[in-house]
Amino acid sequence: AQTVTQSQPEMSVQEAETVTLSCTYDTSESDYYLFWYKQPPSRQMILVIRQEAYKQQNATENRFSVNFQKAAKSFSLKISDSQLGDAAMYFCAYRIRDDKIIFGKGTRLHILP
Amino acid sequence: DTGVSQDPRHKITKRGQNVTFRCDPISEHNRLYWYRQTLGQGPEFLTYFQNEAQLEKSRLLSDRFSAERPKGSFSTLEIQRTEQGDSAMYLCASSLGLMMNTEAFFGQGTRLTVV
């Protein structure tokens, strides 16, 4: 079965500090995409960053970067210089070929002023 | 284009009633997904369409649930004989093309409360 596991239900970080959210996944496929989505309170989900499994280079988007370890099936998200607007639920997800997107249960991130 | 639109935003219904939700995807997006999200959980896949064809339906979905996407445009999700366990946020998303890397855009969801 295809699964995505986020082992940290909640995390807190001081404003301007760096935080890392963990994600592991299980698949027998070799070609797939990984995503981190952000869901602010009462707002719609938006894509934060994506990673192609065939690329060794880790994706970065401004303050957001990933650490992709394909052999370990690990895909963590690092947020640098945390801002109050980063407070949200973060979902790790993956997709194989043209299949559906499978989500983890999420990590709630609190930003402490 | 204003993104993925879902209607209604909130629905309160009595147990046993039927409800129907609508999703208008971003125009030209041929892939449309339905997910269910309960409080504090991640979205659970329900079903998805490629144009008007329903490609997969989750085993989580009972026979009381049905979805359509006539003419490959908007989609409806109907729940018959609602139960309290159906209370959740129902999310719709759309994406362009068949490539895995294409971003899925989400609507704001329809929150269903069954009383």
pLDDT beyond 70 at A9: yes
Looking at residue B60, what is its pLDDT? Answer: 77
Token pair 């989900």 in the structure block, residue: A45
- Give, rounded to a whole angstrom, the gap between the first and last alpha carbons of chain A: 41
Q: CB burial class (10 A; 0-12, 13-18, 19+) of residue B56?
A: middle
Confidence label for B93 from pLDDT (cuts 50, 70 and 90) = very high
Indicate the residue type of A94: Y
- The partner residue sitting opposite A45, judged by closest CB among B45, B56, B106, is B106
CA B7, CA B18: separation in Å to the nearest integer?
15
Which residue's entry shows tokens 């043209």?
A: A98
Torsion on CA atoms B45, B93, B62, B7, rounded to nearest 10: 150
CA B37 to chain centre: 10
Residue A103 distance to chain B (closest CA, Å): 6
pLDDT greater at residue B78 or residue B1: B78
Among A57-61, B8-12, B98-102, B111-115, which is the least confidently predicted range?
B98-102
Q: Which residues does residue A86 pair with via DSSP β-bridges, in sequence order?
A: none
- Tokens read off for B53: 């064809």
Candidates B50, B100, B108; nearest CB to A95: B100
**pLDDT, average across residues A3-14:** 96
Whether the predicted pLDDT of B91 surpasses 80: yes
**B98 neighbourhood in chain A, CB within 8 Å:** 98
Nearest by Cα to A109 from A41, A33, A24, A34: A41
pLDDT at A1 over 70: no
Closest residue in B to A47 (Cα) is B103
Does the structure show a pLDDT above 90 at B101? no
The chain-wide mean pLDDT, for chain B, equals 92
Average pLDDT, integer, range B70-75: 91
Q: Residue A77's pLDDT is what? A: 98
User: What's the average model confidence in pLDDT over A79-83?
Assistant: 98
Task: Tell me the average pLDDT across A16-35.
Answer: 93
The closest CB to that of B42, out of A31, A97, A106, belongs to A106
